[in-house]
Each structure stands twice: as C-alpha cells, then as structure tokens.
Amino acid sequence: MLSGSQRTGKYLISKNLDNFFIDIRELTRFTLQFFKEVFVPPYELQETIRQCYKLGYKSLFLITSTAFITGMVFTDHSRPSLASFGATSWLPSFTGVAVIKALAPLITSLICAGKIGSNIGAEIGSMKVTEQIDAMEVSAINPFKYLVVTRVLATTFMVPLLVIYSGLIGLLGSFIDVHRNDQTSFTVFMYDAFSKIGYVEILSSLIRSVFFGFTIGIIGCYKGFTTTKGTEGVGRAANSSVVTIMFLIFLEEILLVKFFNPFYYG
C-alpha cells in the first residue's frame, strides 16, 4: 500500500509528465501554424521591419559590450596556457576559431534569449491577458500573422546578423589584448585570426544562429500566446520563455555541432 505522500508524489509526477507532453503537442501545432501562415498573404512587411529594428538594433549595445569583453577575457585566459608551450603566436588563430565557431553564435543567442525572448513573452502575454488579441480578431486582423509571424521572422533574420557583428567585435577585443602584450598589428592579427577559418566554419555558425533565432522567436511567442492568470501569468511567461529557449539552444548546439563535425575534419 502506498502512503498518502507517496500517492501525492506519484500524482504530481504523472501530472507534470502529462503537461510536458501536452506542451510539446501544442508547441508543434503552433510551429506548424507559423509555417502555414508565413506563406499566405497578406504579408505584414512593415511590422516585420519594425520588429527587426526593435529586436535587433536595440540589442546592439548589450551585444557589443558582451562580445568585446568576451573576446578580451578569452584571449587573456588563453595566453598563459599557450605561453607554457611557447606558442603565444597562435593566439590570433586560436581566438579566431573559438570566437567564430563557438563563442559568437552561442553567447549572442543566449543574450538574445534573455533580452528578446523574455520581451516577446511578456509583451504578447500582456496583450493576451488584457484581451487585446481578442480585440484584434474582432477588428478582422489576424493576430497570429501580425504578432507571431512578424516576430519569428525578425528573430530568425536578426540573430545571424547579430552573430556576425558579435564575432567581429569579439575579435576586436582579442586584438586589443594581443596588441597590448605583443604589439601585433591589426592587419597581421586579422590575417592570422581568419587563417584557420574556412567557409564551412562560417556557414555552420550562420546556420546554427538561424536555428537559434527561430527558437527564440517561436518559443517567446508561444509562451506569450498561452499566458493565463493575469499579470502573474505574464511574469511566468517571460521567465518560462528564457528558461525554455536556453535549454533548447544548448540542445540544438549539441546536435548541430555533431552534424557539422564531419565537415570540419572531412
């Protein structure tokens, strides 16, 4: 016989599993609806451009400062290890590979998950609980196309651009550290930094960032659209968006790196 606490624990586990699989089913339907709506007119081009500006341009300061510090700190931490082998001249190429292949896509996407993902979840969630989405439907506006499609397209397009920008700023931070210690010129640094980077590395970073951008947009919108319980639900949607997006980004990173590894070394 199970005690009362054991029965309660078993019930909670069963309920959480049910909610988990229901969430997966609903998220799948939500994603399929996006792919259905994105190809059907009318196309909300003006709103998409506005979202690109809002989600991309307004993230530049945070991306710039984080990428610059990351490049400088990574180089500073790598120097002692390479110096022990007498290989400090490898720092530019070592940093270039690390930043372009790994740091820029992953760190930029995680920053966007925290800033953009939570913003989308809270914004749409607030519209949901205040019945603004219902009012849009009454006004013959398709809220899914206007709110979801535009934001997902904006994140899918802007995150790769932010990754490119972040990679260049990260290399600039690395250059300042290398120049301060070794007096290496900017031209020589950039030549060495890109000497070990091929089209496959750049393409893989862009493809991964496209997946990350889509994930940020679709999860933020889904959490916002399924918000309940008033203002408390808005806060929960914002928090849940960030946690879910970060988990999925790490999962996608593992799978995509495994996929691209044969191309790196093939």
Domains held by the chain: number? 2
* 80: its two tokens: 């002692």
- Summarize pLDDT for 181-238 with one digit per residue, the tens: 888 888 988 888 888 888 888 888 999 999 999 999 999 999 888 887 777 778 888 8
Q: What is the pTM of this model?
A: 0.88
Could you tell me if 220 and 89 lie in one domain?
Answer: yes
- The answer to whether residues 189 and 244 belong to one domain is yes
Of 256, 258, 209, 215, which is closest to residue 107 (Cα–Cα)? Answer: 209
pLDDT tens-digit map of 75-115: 888 888 878 877 778 888 888 888 988 889 999 999 999 88
Do 65 and 124 belong to one domain?
yes
Chain-centroid distance of CA 99 in Å reads 16
Q: Are residues 21 and 144 in the same domain?
A: no
Neighbours of 96 (CB within 10 A): 25
Q: For 138-151, how does the pLDDT look when each residue is reduced to its tens digit (9 = 90+)?
A: 777 788 888 889 99
What does each C-alpha distance from 74 to 77, 164, 175 come to in angstroms? 5, 18, 11
Q: How far does the chain reach from its first CA to its final CA, in angstroms?
A: 59
**What is the span of the domain harbouring residue 27?**
1-37
Whether residues 23 and 135 fall in one domain: no
Q: Tell me the two tokens of residue 91.
A: 């720092």
126/180 same-domain check: yes
CA distance 154 to 131: 24
Q: Identify whether residues 32 and 53 lie together within a single domain.
A: no
Residues 6+ apart with CB under 8 A from 203: none
Judgement on whether residues 232 and 104 belong to the same structural domain of the protein:
yes
Examine the domain organization and report whether 126 and 169 are in the same domain: yes
Residue 3 shares a structural domain with residue 70: no
- What does the block give as tokens for 127? 């519209």
User: What 8-state DSSP symbol labels residue 88?
Assistant: G
Q: Which phi and psi (to 5°) does residue 113 adopt?
A: -60, -45
